[in-house]
Amino acid sequence: MSETQYLTVASLTKYLKQKFERDPYLERVYLIGEVSNYRNRQNSHQYFSLKDEKAKINAVMFKSAFQKLKFSPEEGMKVLVIGRISLYEATGQYQIYVEHMEPDGVGALYQALRERQEKLAAEGLFSGEKRALNKYPEKIAVVTSPSGAVIRDIMTTIKRRYPLVELTIFPTLVQGNQAAPDIVSSLKQADEGNFDTIILARGGGSIEDLWPFNEEIVVRTIYSLQTPLISSVGHETDTTLADLVADVRAATPTAAAELAVPNLQEEWLKLKEREQRLLTSMTTRMEKERTRLATVMESYVMKQPHRLYENYSLALDRQVIAFKQAMKNTLYDKEAQFQDVTHRLKQQQPKARIDLASQQADYLERQLLAAKDYYQQKKEQQFIELAAALDMLSPLKTMTRGYSYVTKDEKIVKSVKQVAPQDEMMIHVADGTIQSTVTTIQHTIEGEV
């Protein structure tokens, strides 16, 4: 019995990977499924899943393939995928490596067109204020292919309708990868050429053929133009982003030419019609004014012109009289006011007031001096009377009559009890003092005089 050989997990996984890659049916697989677990990784490879109601498969889309997509995948979007099936050895899971992807049911270009339209609409490029076309243009620029039916239709229509206009053709690529930059260049040249109108035109075709007119650089250039632009791209059922941003959209190149210029014959007929209407109106107006003039001439005012201003003359006389009376009243009032002010001013003259004040001051001064003399005399008399009364009460006055008083140690002796024999005393008389010594003390008997 032979010995059993065991494989490593890595060996088995590698073997299975080779099986996947060598299978010719798995080299190019076409799948339809719903995008799941999608998260846009900026500037990197994309990892997500494709699923239907019964199964799910992991998917990888390398950066180089993802950058070629003309739409942005979204979670839940149903897509058509082309790729190869292989196995990722690290996890042992099989997955599809997506090489191409487009929305199911809607082509990639239509999806890209819808997304771009939504983006530019959000910026306000399609809802901005449209420039008005010049009704009577002098110069028109046509940006289109120099060959083909488009330019012939435009030139024929403009020449037939309005041969006065100057038409300038800007030969431009209108299909292919280089068409968008060429369209932008021609539009900018035309915008700088002092044209009244620009016509951007192209014949019909598939969405791929018309794709340059959906490019963002073309749309933004049209939005930035200063010259009004008419867009006529594709057939009537085709709508490009250039049509949406243009000031006017025309269904066909012929319609664009008709919108760009008026019909000279029709304008001439309109002028003739307006001329006739103006003549009729002027004739009617003149007849009406003649009738009115005749009526006025028959009026009494025209026959007696002086009656026209009689009432005004009377009113003017009344106004003049009233004015004169008002002036007299005003003058009288002003004179009375002047007299009153003059009188008050005289009463308020400073010299008279100063003289009066000086007289009052002199009178008050005399009154003051008289009052002072009277007051002084009165006080002098009071002083003499008080001095006499005081003199009568003075001890010195009594002493002149022979009285004296005795002091001992500068104290008045009022009783014999205050002295003793041999005490020194001073006897005060009217004209001096006498020093004496006590030799005998004699007490007065009570009741004896």
- Judged against a pLDDT cut of 80, whether residue 25 lies above it is answered with yes
The residue among 114 and 255 whose pLDDT is bigger is: 255
Q: What is the DSSP letter of 442?
A: -
Instruction: Please indicate, yes or no, whether residues 251 and 139 belong to a single structural domain of this protein.
Output: yes
- Note the pLDDT of residue 300: 66
Q: What is the DSSP letter of 163?
A: T
User: In total, how many domains does the chain have?
Assistant: 2
Cα–Cα distance for residue pair 50/94, rounded to 1 Å: 13
Residues 194, 139 contacting (CB under 8 angstroms): yes
Max distance between CA atoms of the chain, in angstroms, equals 195
Cα–Cα distance for residue pair 364/370, rounded to 1 Å: 10
**pLDDT, mean of residues 342-350:** 74
Instruction: Please indicate, yes or no, whether residues 141 and 213 belong to a single structural domain of this protein.
Output: yes
Instruction: Please indicate, yes or no, whether residues 153 and 257 belong to a single structural domain of this protein.
Output: yes
**pLDDT, mean of residues 336-365:** 81
The CATH number that applies at residue 65 is: 2.40.50.140
- Judged against a pLDDT cut of 70, whether residue 218 lies above it is answered with yes
- The token pair at 442 is 């004699």
pTM of the predicted model as reported, rounded to 2 decimal places: 0.47
- 413 found inside a domain: no
- Note the pLDDT of residue 115: 86
| pLDDT tens string 308-342 | 677 787 888 889 899 999 999 999 999 889 888 88
- Note the pLDDT of residue 446: 57
Cα-based distances in Å from 212 to 179, 314, 366 = 6, 88, 127
Instruction: Please indicate, yes or no, whether residues 146 and 260 belong to a single structural domain of this protein.
Output: yes
- 109 found inside a domain: no
Instruction: Please indicate, yes or no, whether residues 142 and 246 belong to a single structural domain of this protein.
Output: yes
Cα–Cα distance for residue pair 389/42, rounded to 1 Å: 137
The interaxial angle of helices 216-224 and 179-191, nearest 10 deg, is 10
Instruction: Please indicate, yes or no, whether residues 142 and 251 belong to a single structural domain of this protein.
Output: yes
Q: Around 295, how many Cα atoms within 13 Å sit in the side-chain half-sphere?
A: 6
Instruction: Please indicate, yes or no, whether residues 99 and 146 belong to a single structural domain of this protein.
Output: no
| pLDDT tens string 379-425 | 888 888 888 777 777 776 777 777 788 888 888 888 888 888 888 88
Instruction: Please indicate, yes or no, whether residues 138 and 91 belong to a single structural domain of this protein.
Output: no
- 115 found inside a domain: no
Cα-based distances in Å from 436 to 267, 398, 424, 444 = 170, 22, 6, 21
The CATH number that applies at residue 212 is: 3.40.50.2300
- As a whole number, the mean pLDDT across the chain is 87
Instruction: Please indicate, yes or no, whether residues 191 and 259 belong to a single structural domain of this protein.
Output: yes
Phi-psi region of 43 (alpha: psi -120 to 50; beta: other; left: phi over 0): left
Cα–Cα distance for residue pair 223/200, rounded to 1 Å: 13
| pLDDT tens string 137-161 | 999 999 999 988 899 999 999 999 9
Instruction: Please indicate, yes or no, whether residues 171 and 82 belong to a single structural domain of this protein.
Output: no
Cα–Cα distance for residue pair 106/389, rounded to 1 Å: 151
Q: Which of 265, 284, 308 is the last residue of a domain?
A: 265
Cα–Cα distance for residue pair 201/190, rounded to 1 Å: 14
- Judged against a pLDDT cut of 90, whether residue 62 lies above it is answered with yes
- 212 found inside a domain: yes
Cα-based distances in Å from 46 to 73, 98, 140, 307 = 11, 10, 50, 104
Instruction: Please indicate, yes or no, whether residues 164 and 77 belong to a single structural domain of this protein.
Output: no
Q: Which of 60, 87, 104 is the last residue of a domain?
A: 104
Cα–Cα distance for residue pair 130/245, rounded to 1 Å: 9
Place of tokens 């009344």: 318
- 77 found inside a domain: yes
- 205 found inside a domain: yes
Cα–Cα distance for residue pair 182/144, rounded to 1 Å: 10
Cα-based distances in Å from 135 to 138, 262, 269, 439 = 10, 7, 16, 168
- 324 found inside a domain: no
- Note the pLDDT of residue 105: 63
- 75 found inside a domain: yes
- Judged against a pLDDT cut of 90, whether residue 246 lies above it is answered with yes
Structural domain span for residue 208:
133-265
Q: Which of 265, 286, 316 is the last residue of a domain?
A: 265
Residues 233, 177 contacting (CB under 8 angstroms): no
Instruction: Please indicate, yes or no, whether residues 198 and 251 belong to a single structural domain of this protein.
Output: yes
Cα-based distances in Å from 247 to 81, 129, 259, 294, 311 = 40, 8, 11, 56, 66
Q: What is the DSSP letter of 15?
A: H
